[in-house]
Copies of this chain bind each other. A is one copy, B any other.
Amino acid sequence: MNPFDNISPLDYRYYGRDKDVFAKLSPYLSEEARIRYQLRTELALVKVLARRRICPASVVGEVEKAIGKITANDVYEGEDRIKHDVRALANCIRERVSDKAKPYVHFTATSYDIVNTSVAARFRDFTMDVLVPEMLQLEKALIAIALREKGTLQIGRTHGQHAEPITFGFAISEYVSRFGHAIESVSIAGDDLRGKFSGAVGAYNASALFFSDPEKFEAEVLNELGIKPATHSTQVSEPEYVADYMHSVVSAFGVIANLADDMRHLQRSEIAEVGESFDRAQVGSSTMPHKRNPINFENVKSMWKVFMPMMGTVYMDQISEHQRDLTNSASARFLPELLAGFYVSVRRMRKTMEKLIVDTGSLRRNFEKNRDMIVAEPIYIILAASNHPDAHEYVKQLTLEAQQTGERLVDLLYSDKSVQPYLSKLTGRQKEMLSDPEKYTGIASKKTESVCAFWKKKLRI
């Protein structure tokens, strides 16, 4: 098959063509992987049957050997014939084991015992083996920038307007903290996905025919895959665990989308405080060769726009009539797209941030633009604290005067006799702030350090 015959951009572009990404994701998120995990769940079942002496110990080896040879293609060919995917899967195994072993394959199981449990296991494995490690790499890259730039002066912005000074490291530490929190959430939710082995309607109807302790039997089978059962299940396990997991992923996606937006805007021609590093061979624009376009940040934001709305699908899939309707069957197959979309975005963000160029000249130049006005806030606060009756209005008029006359705000302040009584109470540090606004960064640098230290410890990186 020509990969460009595919329709999904993941398959033909973002995942399928990137060898590294493919190597990371295909063992978990491809259809081949989906089948593989289902086979492993069937194996888990016979292992427990053997341990409980329901079937001979040799069945385990037979099944293990059989599933090693079965491909997705085998299962699909079976499904083409009998129009049932999980039964085709069980048939694939049965055809490859002895008659003695056959009855124990899929023993007492309903299809979704296999499907649900294997989804939980592969999403969990994907989270722990691939996604969280990649997220941690990005977190490390962010921490490195934050600490390196903890003292690099930047004008803080609210409403897109210059506000009070911070440092560039402090700005990045926002994302150290939010993304650190996101890693925690994704880990917890990814490690708490639930399987089930309770039969077609959840009452252990079939397994109770053979076991006096069907819930214990269920727990043993799931334990083979390191998965816990839901407190209750119908044909499917409680959907809220998957919803929590997908929410944790979408929320984490929002964090890097926000980072991407921040970086994109800081890269604007007029701001130019950061830049994606530029590969000499790269064509920035087909007709404007001088541009340095934030294509990676744009891509991350764009992918977020693709996948964020998918939570609507997840929430609708919470609802399934009675012991289950199957209107959540096809839709559940699409969830790996969201996981893959997030993974490639984290990876892209990491690579881009690792090579991020910080333009200290621009940072300084932008800061200088409103340098004098920045002291308006501390003046106001200090006057107010010193019991000035209407500090806010006073400072507002002062700033208008400064704008009209072109004089420095602080000079106007000191030359206004009416406020001298208040100014005389200023501490040395407070006076210093007024004349030297770049010192008015609060505890930006120290906070950057503590935020980084907090998350390094918490995430053990």
Interface stretch, picked from A24-32, A58-66, A117-125, A349-357, is A24-32
Question: Which B residues touch A240, using CB under 8 A?
Answer: 178, 181-182, 185, 251, 254-255
CB-based nearest B residue for A35: B4
A157's partner among B17, B250, B321, B369 (CB-CB below 8 A) is B321
A291 to B369, CA, bound (A): 13
Q: A185-B244, A268-B270, A306-B330 are in contact. Are A200 and B287 (CB under 8 A)?
A: yes
Question: Which B residues touch A271, using CB under 8 A?
Answer: 268, 270
| Residue A377 is within 8 A (CB to CB) of chain B in the complex | yes
CB of A119, distance to nearest CB on chain B (Å) = 13
Q: By the criterion of a CB under 8 Å from any partner CB, how many residues of chain A are at the interface?
A: 195
CB of A176, distance to nearest CB on chain B (Å) = 7
Instruction: Tell me if A174 and B159 are in contact (CB < 8 A).
Output: no
- Cross-chain pairs A/B with CB under 8 angstroms, 11 sampled: A9-B333, A103-B386, A157-B321, A161-B291, A164-B200, A181-B231, A240-B255, A243-B254, A268-B271, A289-B380, A305-B313
CB-based nearest B residue for A89: B286
Instruction: Tell me if A323 and B166 are in contact (CB < 8 A).
Output: yes
| Residue A406 is within 8 A (CB to CB) of chain B in the complex | no
CB-based nearest B residue for A318: B254
| Residue A171 is within 8 A (CB to CB) of chain B in the complex | yes
Instruction: Tell me if A443 and B250 are in contact (CB < 8 A).
Output: no
Pairs A-B, 9 closest by C-beta atoms: A8-B8, A156-B201, A309-B312, A84-B283, A203-B442, A177-B232, A254-B318, A4-B72, A302-B330
How many subunits of this chain does the assembly comprise?
4
Instruction: Tell me if B328 and A291 are in contact (CB < 8 A).
Output: no
A392's partner among B286, B324, B326, B392 (CB-CB below 8 A) is B286
| Residue A418 is within 8 A (CB to CB) of chain B in the complex | no
Q: A205-B441, A232-B178 are in contact. Are A298 and B159 (CB under 8 A)?
A: yes
Q: A31-B6, A442-B214 are in contact. Are A454 and B265 (CB under 8 A)?
A: no
Q: A292-B161, A306-B313, A315-B311 are in contact. Are A234 and B377 (CB under 8 A)?
A: no
| Residue A423 is within 8 A (CB to CB) of chain B in the complex | no
A258's partner among B267, B270, B320, B455 (CB-CB below 8 A) is B320
Instruction: Tell me if B82 and A4 are in contact (CB < 8 A).
Output: no
| Residue A408 is within 8 A (CB to CB) of chain B in the complex | no
| Residue A360 is within 8 A (CB to CB) of chain B in the complex | no
| Residue A158 is within 8 A (CB to CB) of chain B in the complex | yes
**A376-392, CB < 8 A from B:** 376-378, 380-382, 384-389, 392
Chain A 264-297 near chain B by CB (<8 Å), digits 1 or 0:
1111111100000001011111111111111100
Question: Which B residues touch A286, using CB under 8 A?
Answer: 84, 86-87, 90, 106, 109-111, 392
Instruction: Tell me if B443 and A214 are in contact (CB < 8 A).
Output: yes
Interface stretch, picked from A40-48, A127-135, A220-228, A334-342, is A334-342
A269's partner among B157, B250, B395, B396 (CB-CB below 8 A) is B157
Q: A209-B382, A251-B244, A381-B209 are in contact. Are A334 and B87 (CB under 8 A)?
A: no
